[in-house]
Amino acid sequence: MLNYLVYAVIVIMFAVDLVISLINYRHRKQPVPAYVRDIFDQEKYNNWLNYTMEKLRFGLVTGGFNTALVVVLLASGFFGVVERWSSAWFSVPVLQALSFLGVIFGLQFVLSIPFSYYSTFVIEEKFGFNKTTPKTFWLDQVKKLLLMVVLGGLLVWLLQSLYLLFADRLWLFLLSAWAALVVIIVVVFVLNTKVFVKIFNKLTPLPESPLRTRIEALAAEVGFSVKAVSVMDASRRSTKLNAFFSGLGKSREVVLYDTLMEKMDDDQILAVLAHELGHAVHKDVPRMLGQQSIVLGLYLVLAGFVLQSDALAQAFGLSGAHFGFGLILFSLLVTPFDLLLSIPLNFLSRKAEYAADAFSARYVDKQSIMGALRRLTQENLANLNPHPLYVHIHYSHPPIAERLRAIEEA
């Protein structure tokens, strides 16, 4: 019976996501809010509709394939076969788990490449977003694989070592795993620009210029120092625009996409960075890390019971509780909680975005941040009129019409 419960969770969650996506797609025919009617002309609006349809169809195919694959692998006893293979080759529990997960995630990685290739070189290419060359694409795949092997392997080794150390005291495993993962999340966040971004992109210091002077002056005005202002070669992969701050405390690093530099004037760029500074002033990053820590603690409680369940593992052909399979099963069973938690967490995130927009409007000006948001919407073909249900579940940022209205009325 336990296996049927897992199948039900997988299929029901896919069905729920499908229904929500279709509701959102049908909502495209509703009248566009007045605040955003002039963002797209008719040709551009039709292009957005076509892009949305392509992404929807592709998402349904990808989601359907992944759902069917997981169910087939579970029902066929594939995980039990991999467990027996890893146990035959390795006697050390940590190596058994690493080899088990290596086979599973290696299979998942290989099967994901055709979908990623199609998304990049067919859909994104068709609508003028793609700038990735085949060489860059394949280099990215190799880098992702190496990161997955090195960082993922170290993480699994750490977690299972803690699990074996506190095998008879579940609460100590949960507490130590929670503390270790919180530290890792903070370290990865701090090292993101210094290490991980540089693995995939080139960062070039922004030369001395009026824009750099204004960025540093704005940061100083609100109590922050800018350690570096860099331009990222995002145009190697896409035409889409973005910018971000990184770091914790009073020192920050600024990263500007080169596409942003090309498509926006200095006032709009400064307004985007003022928005990001607003997050820093309002301490949104520590709050977000705190929220993630709480959610992580809740998830670890569920993970602890899944990892120790012989019945769940045996229902899918394994000899008993298995650390590697427990992690995979946990990732499947946690999806209903993800859906429920996404509603309040996204609400808090959207609330923070409104506050950051207001901060930008106050420290730069309304027209600059509104112009920047309009430009981002145009260049990224963002949805002008998403369904409210889809917004509640999936949007960490408010829809563009609501953001513009809030800035105008502030």
For residue 249, is pLDDT > 70? Answer: no
Q: What pLDDT, on a 0 to 100 scale, did the predictor assign at position 384?
A: 84
**Residues 250 and 317 occupy one common structural domain:** no
Residue 244 lies in a domain: yes
Task: Evaluate whether 242 touches 257 at the Cβ level (below 8 Å).
Answer: yes
Which of these three, 251, 277, 303, is where a domain ends? 277
**Residues 248 and 342 occupy one common structural domain:** no
**Residues 271 and 287 occupy one common structural domain:** no
Rounded Cα distance between 294 and 290, Å, is 6
Q: What pLDDT, on a 0 to 100 scale, did the predictor assign at position 139?
A: 92
**Residue 236 DSSP one-character state:** G
For residue 410, is pLDDT > 80? Answer: no
More confident residue, 321 or 287: 287
Which of the four pLDDT bands, split at 50, 70 and 90, describes residue 225?
confident
The closest alpha carbon to 184, from 289, 306, 304, belongs to: 289
The range of the structural domain enclosing residue 60 comes to 2-179+282-409
For residue 256, is pLDDT > 90? Answer: no
Residue 302 lies in a domain: yes
Q: What pLDDT, on a 0 to 100 scale, did the predictor assign at position 259?
A: 85
Mean pLDDT of 255-267: 86
**Residues 148 and 23 occupy one common structural domain:** yes
Rounded Cα distance between 269 and 241, Å, is 11
Mean pLDDT of 53-64: 86
Q: What pLDDT, on a 0 to 100 scale, did the predictor assign at position 16?
A: 92
**Residue 92 DSSP one-character state:** S
Which of the four pLDDT bands, split at 50, 70 and 90, describes residue 117?
very high
Rounded Cα distance between 276 and 246, Å, is 10
**Residues 114 and 87 occupy one common structural domain:** yes
**Residues 175 and 222 occupy one common structural domain:** no
Q: What pLDDT, on a 0 to 100 scale, did the predictor assign at position 311?
A: 87
For residue 67, is pLDDT > 80? Answer: yes
CB atoms within 10 A of CB 231: 19
Rounded Cα distance between 162 and 360, Å, is 45
Residue 57 lies in a domain: yes
Rounded Cα distance between 364 and 358, Å, is 10
Rounded Cα distance between 72 and 193, Å, is 39
Q: What pLDDT, on a 0 to 100 scale, did the predictor assign at position 251?
A: 67
Strand order in the sheet with 225-232: 203-205, 225-232, 251-257, 243-246
**Residues 115 and 47 occupy one common structural domain:** yes
> Which two tokens mark 276?
């990001």
Question: Which pTM does this prediction carry?
Answer: 0.86
